[in-house]
Amino acid sequence: MAMALPKTITATARAIAAGELTSRTATEAALGRVERDNASLGALLHVDAQGALARADQIDSQRRAGQPLGRLGGVPITLKDNISLVGMPMTAGSRILAGYRPPFDATVAARVSAAGAIVIGKCNLDEFAMGSSNETSAFGPVRNPHDLDRVPGGSSGGSAVAVAAGFGFGSLGSDTGGSIRLPAALCGVVGLKPTYGRVSRYGVVAFASSLDQVGPLATTSRDAARLLGVIAGPCRHDSTCADHSVPDFEAALGRESLAGIRVGVAREHLDGADGLDSAMSRRVRERLERLRDLGADLVDVELPHSHASIAAYYLIATAEASANLARYDGVRFGHRSAAHGGDLEQLIARSRGEGFGREVKRRIMLGTYALSSGYYDAYYRKACQVRRLVHDDFVAAFSHCDLLAGPVSPVTAWRLAEKTGDPLAMYLMDVFTTAVNLAGLPALSMPMPVSAGEMPAGLHLIGRAFDETTLLGVADCLERSDREPGEATP
């Protein structure tokens, strides 16, 4: 009988390195699932089966030759389609980039490849990563594998679904206001947004440059730690990428108790949170009890400006997006209008009018307005001041605790089309996530237990700047405490 395939990145890499499994077998299994399920899920926009298998064979022969394989040696993974990778197209979910093929690798793509990963495909996303449900993609929505009538969350919906559906063992997404954590929560996988500056953004399509950060999605915290360790660290092409040395994230895992750890609970994220579903609040409380059982101390903290973070985020993110998206002019690359006549300005206007979708246009208009003379002080500057207050709230909270815990989203996965007519309702799905980006902090979403009839939901752990280690250590301990006694590590 064929051996059951391992389910995680770390177990797969180990089995391949030990010669118990070939990368070809692991890659064929992932491609088989893509073949079977991608048409109904819509998670991958491009699949490179041939390239992936050729690369897998190369890893297998490297192993036979006794060469070291790297931390992701032979493991199939996927990338969000706003990350440049030579050899595959990149759309960022937009018609305006249809046909574009990046001429260079993003630093994160180069790093996973150098670590031996097999990139099997690129994941669907909200157009330019603008959205919370993965319904703004120009290439169709992604569906939640736990209920095909529901959204997977966005904007890294394709990445979360790829991991949940076994299209590879991990994925890289990007998070500007929650885009890794929200889909991870709604699809029941682990998603980590690193500290701003921890991971290079070189070669990643810019949405809001002071907020964007690339991070891993995976099935366990250990796998997320492995991926983060591979992609993190200084990059000479990105001056916003910090010079900090990268800790060994995996070395901090495996603790049996959380004694000495202070977990902050903000009432603004629980009792005092508007729109928080009561079942969600119950599930978070159960997790807090479990953290306490594991030895952690629960401390009440305050985040008095959290109510303002959504408004500040949607001003700052749209302002930065309106500047970043100016480069799509139909002249240098991307979609160019085929209509004739008129001058250069009209060509640019037509190309942009045809190439961008509704939500992207809305953001460009909002951002342009917020930055325009006469309104700058009232909107953009004010939002930057609020951003500082939100940041200072976290600094004050972290003088009483080592990390914060709460819900990632106010509700579980909603139905497709339920919120597309009401942008504000959609934006409110980010109530708990955007403050983290404004403050530049690391945060992760990990699945909470699911009872019969329930959809997945995420526990949000927020840490001090550059302290992903504490988040991963707590998440890993909590995760293992949920396994049945004697149950093997997947």
Residue from 167, 207, 356, 432 touching ligand GLN (CB under 6 A): that is 207
CB of 144 to ligand GLN, least distance (A): 16
Pick the stretch among 51-59, 172-180, 253-261, 348-356 that binds ligand GLN (CB under 6 A): 172-180
Residue 185, interface with ligand GLN (CB under 6 A)?
no
Q: CA-to-CA distance for 88 and 104, rounded, in angstroms?
A: 11
Backbone angles phi, psi at 11, to 5 degrees: -70, -35
- Residue 188 touches ligand GLN, criterion: CB under 6 A: no
Closest distance of CB 402 from ligand GLN, Å: 25
Region of 103-111, 137-145, 176-184, 371-379 interacting with ligand GLN (CB under 6 A): 176-184
Cβ atoms of 94 and 357 closer than 8 Å: yes
Is residue 80 among the annotated active site residues?
Answer: yes
Min. distance of Cβ 416 from ligand GLN in angstroms?
A: 16
Of the residues 84, 113, 174, 179, only one is catalytic, namely: 179
Q: Which is nearer to ligand GLN, 102 or 131 (CB)?
A: 131
CB of 471 to ligand GLN, least distance (A): 18
Widest CA span in the chain: 72
* Phi and psi, residue 457, nearest 5°: -150, 160
Q: Please name the residue that has the structure tokens 């991870």.
A: 184
Active site residue 179: yes
Residue 51 C-beta: closest distance to ligand GLN, Å: 27
CA–CA separation, 266 and 87 (whole Å): 46
361 is catalytic: no
Residues near ligand GLN (CB under 6 A), total = 13
Smallest distance, Å, CB 419 to ligand GLN? 11
Q: List Cβ neighbours of 478 (8 Å cut-off, separation of 6 or more).
A: 287, 290, 291, 294, 446, 459
Task: Give the active site residue among 23, 80, 132, 351.
Answer: 80
**Contact criterion met (CB below 8 Å) for 442 and 190:** no
**Contact pattern from residue 403 through residue 442 relative to ligand GLN, giving x for each residue in contact according to CB under 6 A and a dash for the rest:** ---------------------------x------------
Alpha carbon 348 to its chain centroid, in Å, reads: 32
Q: What character string, x for contact with ligand GLN (CB under 6 A) and - otherwise, covers 124-163?
A: -----xxxx----------------------x--------
Binding to ligand GLN by residue 213, rule CB under 6 A? Answer: no
> Are the C-beta atoms of 178 and 430 separated by less than 8 Å?
yes
Which CB sits closer to ligand GLN, 200 or 469?
200
Binders of ligand GLN among residues 280 to 339 (CB under 6 A) are: 317
β-strands 214-218, 458-463 pairing: unpaired
- Smallest separation, CB 317 to ligand GLN (Å): 5
Tell whether residue 177 is a contact of ligand GLN (CB under 6 A). yes
| Residue closest to ligand GLN, measured at CB | 179
Q: Which stretch binds ligand GLN (CB under 6 A): 107-115, 171-179, 280-288, 478-486?
A: 171-179
Catalytic residue from among 155, 159, 200, 309: 155
Question: Which residues sit at the interface with ligand GLN, rule CB under 6 A?
Answer: 129-132, 155, 175-179, 207, 317, 430
Q: Which residues are catalytic?
A: 80, 155, 179
